[in-house]
Structure 1
Amino acid sequence: MDIGRKIRDLRIRKNLTQEELGERTDLSKGYISQLEHDQSSPSMETFFDLLNVLGQSPAEFFSEEPNQQLVYTRADQVEYVDEDRGYQLQWLVPQSNENEMEPVRITFAAGGEFKTFEPSPAETFIYVVSGKVRLKLGEHDYQAKKGETIYFHATKQHRIQNASAGRAEILLVATASYL
């Protein structure tokens, strides 16, 4: 186990500089750097002080990190079809609604439209894969065609619709439990 690397990773996750971690543990910035580069080993007392500031118990620190899935296959994706509204929704990352970003692929039939969303603090990015789509955001309409993007803050009621005579497809990534 690379103890120095693990201390550095925890410090960065806590958004602390070496100097800030040193101040909170009465250690110098230089000593924190030496620990992170495995050039020095902390005493047990110092190690426990570091873990306390970094918000970890010794058991958590020494446990093996679970394998995190980074690549998702077609088999991992979840689909939903709304024939009445004329769209198919694919969640590209399972359980992404628990994350800060939620990527989905939406395929619209001719005349298809996604549900209306109420204002929220979400940020939304849309890439048009094929066809043309219309975003109604508050009182304004915006259109984007294949290869174009839409990016907006969802602070007004909004709806996405197919503006093509045929099929349209988008990739949508939203924050803050948009879907």
Structure 2
Amino acid sequence: MDIGEKLRNLRVQKNLTQEELGERTDLTKGYISQLERDLSSPSMETFFTILEVLGVTPEEFFREENAQHQVVYREEDSTLYYDEENGYELKWLIPDSNEKEMEPVLLTFDKAGEYKTFEPSLAETFIYVLEGSVALTLGETQYKARKGQSIYYQATEPHQLKNIAGKKSRVLVVVTDSYL
């Protein structure tokens, strides 16, 4: 088991930078980087503090699940993250999706909410609008979709998704693993 890689995956899933995780655990960004690259080993106390911030128990962290055999995932398997400043909630539907080829998430926008801008990558992205209306800015072009419509693109240009409805919007997003 690659402990560093697993820590990194959990941090990314929680939408935290190395610096943010460091601030929440009183560790430096450099030390977090060393842990994620398996160049350093934390003390038990430090390790438990990191797991607590990441919202995982030691048992869950070390559990060797046969995820490739799991087919049905329950509501309690999902992980939620709410960004109050940008007005969105991100719900990872599959607990270890960042280790798979596709990452399905539910993205719920508050009125005027927007998701962060992503740099170009080789990722392919599928978005299905469940509620409201959204606008995708892909490079210099903006595409709009409303409830019942889909968006599909290769992320070869900077891209950002925003809510353009006068109310809450909700989308299902599936991204291939080439986005990191």
**TM-score if structure 1 supplies the norm length?**
0.62
Which residue does the alignment assign to 2:95? 94
Which amino acid in 2 is paired with 1:107?
A: T
Call closer, same or farther: CA 1:144–1:69 in 2, change over 3 Å.
same
Structure 1 position 118, deviation (Å): 0.0
Aligned to 1:52: none
Q: Distance in 2 between matches of 1:118 and 1:177?
A: 12
Give a deviation string over 1:100-131, Cα, whole Å, max 9, x none. Answer: 00000000000100000000000000000000
Contact 2:122/2:179 (8 A) holds in 1: no
Contact 1:97 1:177 in 2 (8 A): no
1:116 aligns with 2:122: no
Q: Could you tell me whether the CA contact under 8 Å between 1:105 and 1:170 is conserved in 2?
A: yes
1:83 aligns with 2:81: no
Q: Which amino acid aligns with 1:71?
A: V
CA distance in 2, matches of 1:66, 1:110: 36
Q: Label 1:66 to 1:170 Cα distance change in 2 as closer, same or farther (>3 A).
A: closer
For structure 1, which segment, 169-178 or 98-107, has the greater mean C-alpha deviation from structure 2 after superposition?
169-178
- Residue 68 of structure 1: CA displacement? 1.5
List structure 1 runs of 4+ shifted beyond 2 angstroms: none
Alignment of 1:15-34 (within 5 A): none
Counterpart residue number, 2:12: none
Structure 2 alignment gaps of length 5 or more: 1-65
SS of the counterpart of 1:169?
strand
Alpha-carbon separation, structure 1, partners of 2:96 and 2:133: 28
CA-based RMSD of the aligned residues comes to 1.6
**In 2, distance between residues paired with 1:139 and 1:176?**
24
Question: Residue 167 of structure 1: CA displacement?
Answer: 0.2
Residue-by-residue CA offset, 1:43-65 (whole Å, 9 max, x unaligned): xxxxxxxxxxxxxxxxxxxxxx8
SS in 2 for 1:97: helix
Q: Could you tell me how far 1:95 is from its partner in structure 2? A: 1.1
Unaligned runs of 5+ in 1: 1-64
1:168 aligns with 2:175: no
Distance in 1 (CA, whole Å) between partners of 2:98 and 2:179 is 8
Matches within 5 A, 1:20-59: none
Q: Secondary structure at the match of 1:117?
A: coil
- For 1:78-113, what per-residue CA distance to the aligned partner results, in whole angstroms no more than 9, with x for missing partners? 000000000000000011011000000000000100
TM-score using structure 2 length? 0.62
Corresponding residue for residue 140 of structure 1: 141
Percent of matched pairs sharing the same residue = 52
Which structure would you say has the larger Rg? 1
- CA distance in 2 between partners of 1:116 and 1:66 (Å): 30
Alpha-carbon deviation of 1:178? 3.1
